[in-house]
Amino acid sequence: MAGERDARGVRGLRGGRLALCTAVVLCATGLLGGTATAAQRAPAPSPPPDGGARHLDEVRKEIEGLYRAAERATDAYNAAEEQVQLQQKKIVELARTIVAAQGRLAVLKRQAGALASAQYRAGGIPPEAKLVLNADPEAFLANADLVRKGQQAVKGVIGQLTHLKSDLDGYAQDASHRWEQLEADRQKKDAARKQINDKIDAAKALESRLAAKEKDRLRKLEDEQALLTQQKWLDSGALRDIRGKATEQGKKAISYATSQIGKDYVWGAVGPNTFDCSGLTLRAWQAAGRTIPRTSQEQWRQLPRVPLKEMRPGDLVIYFSDASHVGMYLGDGAIVHAPRPGRQVTITGAGSMPILGVVRPDGERTG
C-alpha cells in the first residue's frame, strides 16, 4: 500500500507516463520516503571480507575526493568564464562609447575653429572706434550683441571640448582596467581548467587500473553508500513534514530535467547532449521560463532560500559546505542530477549527500 500511495503522489505531481516511470525507478532504488518499511530500507554495506574489499573502499573514497575537487574547480572555472564574458562585453561597450565621443570631439573642434575664425575677422578695431565710424549706431550695437553671443558660444564649445576630453581620458583608463581584469580572469580560468583536468585525469587513471569486476563492485559500492546515507536521512524524519506541490513552472523544469536521464556528465557542459550538475538545473529552469545563475554556488547565493520542511518539487537542493553540487527535487525524497564524470544524469536520494540547503528558482526574494 505504501508503494501505491507514493506512486500516486508522484503521478499527481507530474502526470502520465513520466510520473509512472519515475515512481517505478524510485521504488526499485528504495528512494521513496515517509512510509518506507524495514524491508525497503537500503542494506548497509557488507563488512569487507578481505583486504581487497577494504582497498576498493579506499579507492572509492579517493576517486570521490578527486571528483569533488574537480567539481569545486568547475565552479571556479564557470565563475571565471562569466567574468571573462562580462569584461569582454564592457570593453566592446567602452569602445563604442569612445568612437562616438571622438566623433563629437571632431564636430566640436570644427565648430570652435569656425567661431575663432569669425572672431578674428571681426577683430582689429577697438569697439569705441567702430562706434564713431559707424554711420548707424543702432546697427553697431546690434552687431556688438551678436559678437557677445559669439564669444559666449565659443566659451560653451571650449567647455564642451574640455569635458569631452576628460570623459575620453576616463574611458581610456576604464578600458585599460578592463583589459587588465580580463587577462586576470583568463588566467584564473586557465588555472581552474588545469586543476579540473588534473583531478579528473587522476580519478580516471585510478579507476582504469581496476579490473572489470572491480569496476562493477566499485559502482555497486557507490550506490550502496548512497542508499545507506539516504536511509539515514529518511530515518531522521526529515521528509515527514514535506508536503509541497510543484508549481506549473516547476513541473516544466522537472519534465525537462528528467527527460535528460541517461545523458553523460561532462564538466562545464550545459546541454543539449551533456551536462554538469548546474548546467542541468540551468537548462531545466530556462525551459520553464526562468533564468537562474550558471553555477551551483551562485544559485545558492542568489536564489531565494527556503527551509527544508517547505521544499517542493522543482526546488534545487544544494550540497556540501562549499555549495559545489546541485540537484532538482522531484518529490518523495528523490532528486534528479548529473553526478560526476563517468556517470550519467540519474535519479537518486535527496539525502544521499550532505545537504547545505534548498533554493527556489520561482520563489520571491525577501529581505
Topology of 49-235 in CATH? Helix Hairpins (1.10.287)
pLDDT tens digits along 117-149: 665 555 544 454 444 445 555 554 555 555 555
Residues paired with residue 305 on neighbouring β-strands, in sequence order: 359
Amino acid at 244: G
| Per-residue model confidence (pLDDT) at position 360 | 98
Q: Give me the residue spans of the domains in the chain.
A: 49-235, 243-367
| Per-residue model confidence (pLDDT) at position 176 | 81
Nearest Cα neighbor of 36 from 24, 27, 44 is: 27
Cα dihedral sign, 339-226-34-319: negative
267 compared with 312, residue with greater pLDDT: 312
pLDDT tens digits along 14-37: 344 344 344 434 444 445 544 343
Please identify every residue annotated as catalytic. Answer: 277, 325, 337
Lowest average pLDDT, out of 61-75, 121-135, 162-176, 348-362, goes to: 121-135
**Average pLDDT for the chain:** 77
225 compared with 143, residue with greater pLDDT: 225
195 compared with 323, residue with greater pLDDT: 323
Spell out the residues 6+ positions from residue 64 whose beta carbon is closer than 8 angstroms to its own: 222
How sure is the predictor about 290, in pLDDT bands with cuts at 50, 70 and 90? very high
| Per-residue model confidence (pLDDT) at position 15 | 40
Topology of 243-367 in CATH? endopeptidase fold (from Nostoc punctiforme) (3.90.1720)
27 compared with 184, residue with greater pLDDT: 184
pLDDT tens digits along 88-125: 888 888 788 878 777 777 776 777 667 666 655 555 44
pTM exceeding the 0.75 threshold for the entire prediction: no
SS (H, E, C) the chain: CHHHHHHHHHHHHHCHHHHHHHHHHHHHHCCCCCCCCHHHCCCCCCCCCCHHHHHHHHHHHHHHHHHHHHHHHHHHHHHHHHHHHHHHHHHHHHHHHHHHHHHHHHHHHHHHHHHHHHHHHHCCCCHHHHHHHCCCHHHHHHHHHHHHHHHHHHHHHHHHHHHHHHHHHHHHHHHHHHHHHHHHHHHHHHHHHHHHHHHHHHHHHHHHCCCHHHHHHHHHHHHHHHHHHHHHHHHCCCCCCCCCCCCHHHHHHHHHHHCCCCCEECCCCECCCCECHHHHHHHHHHHCCCCCCCCHHHHHHHCCEECHHHCCCCCEEEECCCCCEEEEEEECCEEEECCCCCCECEEEECCCCCEEEEECCCCCCCC
Cell digits of residue 120: 578674428
* Distance from C-alpha of 1 to C-alpha of 48, rounded to nearest angstrom: 36
